[in-house]
């Protein structure tokens, strides 16, 4: 039954297991789609950086829920949205959902981006890693800040509608082959040379090699940075330890202690 749900606790954290109704499933390009869903009860507080564990129904090969970042929330419309890239059976199945179908979520999982004291944020996303940055931009704008986004894609064919990002801040674009925006990788964008560079926090999500480069870029400039990791997960609530990440303080569980980390804490494995 759409909208039914109950609260569970993992330690101190209150989570919901709840059915949502699909409001819209929008195909954005050959790989990405946006799923907009709504519960029948009012949404609880959801924070940028958090994710949902999505059950993939009618798919025997995808017994485990799939972790997907919250792309945005609209409390007035009582909706959550997800930006999803089709990579395997689970995401392919989700891409076939239609209006009025039911989707079961455990949410909100994980920690959040720390925005305390930030004055000038730079948000750098690559590919599907742009997903958690939209909701973060929404939150930063609500705090009266003006986020700057640099978003990178492999080529123009993988672009998504960037107008939601433009609602929250300035958007600069790169593609590897120059087919849209500036040619090159996100850190090649000329805005980084033209800007007087008074950013005091960089938030990033994307391929690990990109996040590592962004973390080094921030460190070289004495700026703090936070990364949102997408380690492969199974349980999503700290029980199986399959998502552990090496840090300077030992191994950390990404699904409960992350997915957002101060980049200086991380011991990169690449
Ligand atoms: C915290 C978190 C947030 C995420 N947010 C999003 C999001 O907003 N949008 C989105 O599209 N995806 C997101 N992902 C990745 C997403 O969970 C996987 O792509 C998805 O689970 C793959 O399921 P599948 O059944 O389609 O593919 P599978 O058949 O399980 O896998 C297909 C291929 O994708 C690879 N893969 C599986 N999981 C991951 C992963 N976590 N990272 C990289 N490669 C993976 C597999 O190794 C395999 O090669 C997130 C992952 C995490 C951990
Ligand atoms: S996914 Fe099981 S502990 Fe993180």
Judge whether 11 lies within some domain: yes
Mean pLDDT of 219-233: 96
Judge whether 92 lies within some domain: yes
Among the listed ranges 1-10, 47-56, 122-131, 173-182, which one has the minimum average pLDDT value? 1-10
50 Cβ inside 6 Å of ligand 1: no
CATH number of the CATH domain containing 44: 2.40.30.10
Percent of the chain at pLDDT > 70 equals 96
Tokens of 208: 């690990």
CB-CB neighbours of 156 under 10 Å: 14
Query: Which residue(s) pair with 69 in the sheet?
Result: 51
Tell me the ligand closest to 229's alpha carbon.
1
Which atom belonging to ligand 2 lies closest to the Cα atom of 236? 1
Judge whether 253 lies within some domain: no
Q: Is the pLDDT of residue 139 over 90?
A: yes
Mean pLDDT of 167-196: 95
Which atom belonging to ligand 2 lies closest to the Cα atom of 256? 4
Mean pLDDT of 141-145: 98
Judge whether 119 lies within some domain: no
241 Cβ inside 6 Å of ligand 2: yes
Tokens of 92: 């392919």
Judge whether 246 lies within some domain: no
Output the pLDDT for position 10: 61
Domain hosting residue 96, numbered range: 5-109
- The per-residue pLDDT of the chain, averaged, comes to 94
Judge whether 261 lies within some domain: no
| pTM of the predicted structure, to 2 decimals | 0.95
Q: Residue with the nearest Cα to atom 52 of ligand 1?
A: 230
Q: In a 3-state reduction of DSSP, which class is residue 154? A: coil
Instruction: Find where tokens 């590592």 sit.
Output: 212
Q: Is the pLDDT of residue 11 over 70?
A: no
Q: Is the pLDDT of residue 15 over 60?
A: yes
As a whole number of angstroms, the distance between CA 189 and CA 74 comes to: 31
239 Cβ inside 6 Å of ligand 2: yes
User: Cis before residue 189, ω within 30 degrees of 0?
Assistant: no
Most informative mutation of 255, 258, 259 for ligand 2 (most atoms within 8 A of CB): 255
180 Cβ inside 6 Å of ligand 2: no
Residue pair 50/108 in contact (Cβ under 8 Å)? The answer is yes
Count of the separate structural domains present in the chain: 1
What's the chain's length in residues? Answer: 270
91 Cβ inside 6 Å of ligand 1: yes
Judge whether 32 lies within some domain: yes
Tell me the ligand closest to 259's alpha carbon.
1
Output the pLDDT for position 1: 39
Judge whether 67 lies within some domain: yes
Which atom belonging to ligand 1 lies closest to the Cα atom of 86? 26
Q: Is the pLDDT of residue 269 over 90?
A: no
Q: In a 3-state reduction of DSSP, which class is residue 158? A: helix
Cα end-to-end span (Å), the chain: 45
Output the pLDDT for position 13: 63
């Amino acid at each position: 039954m759409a909208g039914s749900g109950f609260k569970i606790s993992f330690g101190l954290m209150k989570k919901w297991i709840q059915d949502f109704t699909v409001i819209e499933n929008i195909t954005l390009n050959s790989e990405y789609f946006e799923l907009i869903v709504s519960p029948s009860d009012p949404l609880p507080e959801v924070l940028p950086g958090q994710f949902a564990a999505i059950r993939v129904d009618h798919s025997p090969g995808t017994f485990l829920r799939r972790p997907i970042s919250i792309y945005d929330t609209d409390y007035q419309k009582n909706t959550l949205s997800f930006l999803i890239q089709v990579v395997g059976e689970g995401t392919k199945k989700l891409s076939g959902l239609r209006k009025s179908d039911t989707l079961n979520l455990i949410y909100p999982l994980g920690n959040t981006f720390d925005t305390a004291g930030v004055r000038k944020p730079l948000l750098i996303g690559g590919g599907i890693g742009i997903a958690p940055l939209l909701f973060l931009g929404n939150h930063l704008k609500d705090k009266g800040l003006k986020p700057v986004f640099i978003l990178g894609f492999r080529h123009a064919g993988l672009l998504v509608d960037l107008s939601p990002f433009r609602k929250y801040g300035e958007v600069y674009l790169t593609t590897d082959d120059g087919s849209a925006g500036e040619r090159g990788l996100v850190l090649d964008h000329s805005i980084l040379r033209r800007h007087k560079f008074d950013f005091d926090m960089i938030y990033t999500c994307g391929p690990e090699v990109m996040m590592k480069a962004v973390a080094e870029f921030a460190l070289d400039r004495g700026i703090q940075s936070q990364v949102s990791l997408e380690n492969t997960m199974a349980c999503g609530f700290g029980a199986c330890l399959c998502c552990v990440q090496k840090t300077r303080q030992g191994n950390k569980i990404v699904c409960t202690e992350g997915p957002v980390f101060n980049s200086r804490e991380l011991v990169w494995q690449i």
